[in-house]
Structures are given as structure tokens and as C-alpha cells.
């Protein structure tokens, strides 16, 4: 089985997306590929960084792994 050595997408859920958008746009020199009131996606090489507005009172970190392989 071939497992690619790469992370395809990174989702970050935030309590205050509006404030986070300003910070990320200032800190990271990446071009914004898509944006709305509920998300922001940066154009990057290989990995997508997507910031999402959380609609939950508390945010609990989730442990998820997505593995891309041509034979599954």
C-alpha cells in the first residue's frame, strides 16, 4: 500500500473568525483563494489551510486523520 507523505487539508475551527482572519492575513503572506463570513481559505502549495467559524459555545479539539492512497 502506498501512503503519500503529505497533509492535504488543515481545518482550524475558531470562536472569533473575524478577528482571526485579520491576524492570519497579517502573519501569513499567502493569497486568499476563497472567503465568506464563515470561512477563509488560503492558497498554498500542497496543503490547503481553511479557517472555519465555530458555531458551538465550546471548541473541543478533534483528532482526525485523512490518508490519501490510490488503492482504497
Question: What digits encode the pLDDT tens for the residues 33-61?
Answer: 999 999 999 988 888 889 999 887 776 66
pTM above 0.95, yes or no: no
H or E segment and range at residue 51: strand 48-53
Of 4-8, 21-25, 28-32, 47-51, the range with the lowest mean pLDDT is: 4-8
Q: Which domains does the chain have, with CATH numbers?
A: 9-53 (3.10.180.10)
Largest Cα–Cα distance in the chain? 43
Query: Which residue's entry shows cell 501569513?
Result: 28
Beta-carbon contacts of 35 under 8 Å, excluding residues fewer than 6 positions away, are: 21, 41
Amino acid at each position: 500500500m502506498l501512503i503519500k507523505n503529505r497533509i492535504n487539508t488543515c481545518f482550524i475551527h475558531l470562536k472569533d473568525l473575524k478577528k482571526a482572519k485579520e491576524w492570519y492575513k497579517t502573519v501569513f503572506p499567502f493569497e486568499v483563494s476563497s472567503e465568506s463570513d464563515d470561512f477563509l481559505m488560503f492558497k498554498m502549495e500542497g496543503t490547503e489551510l481553511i479557517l472555519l467559524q465555530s458555531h458551538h459555545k465550546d471548541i473541543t479539539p478533534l483528532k482526525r486523520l485523512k490518508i490519501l492512497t490510490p488503492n482504497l
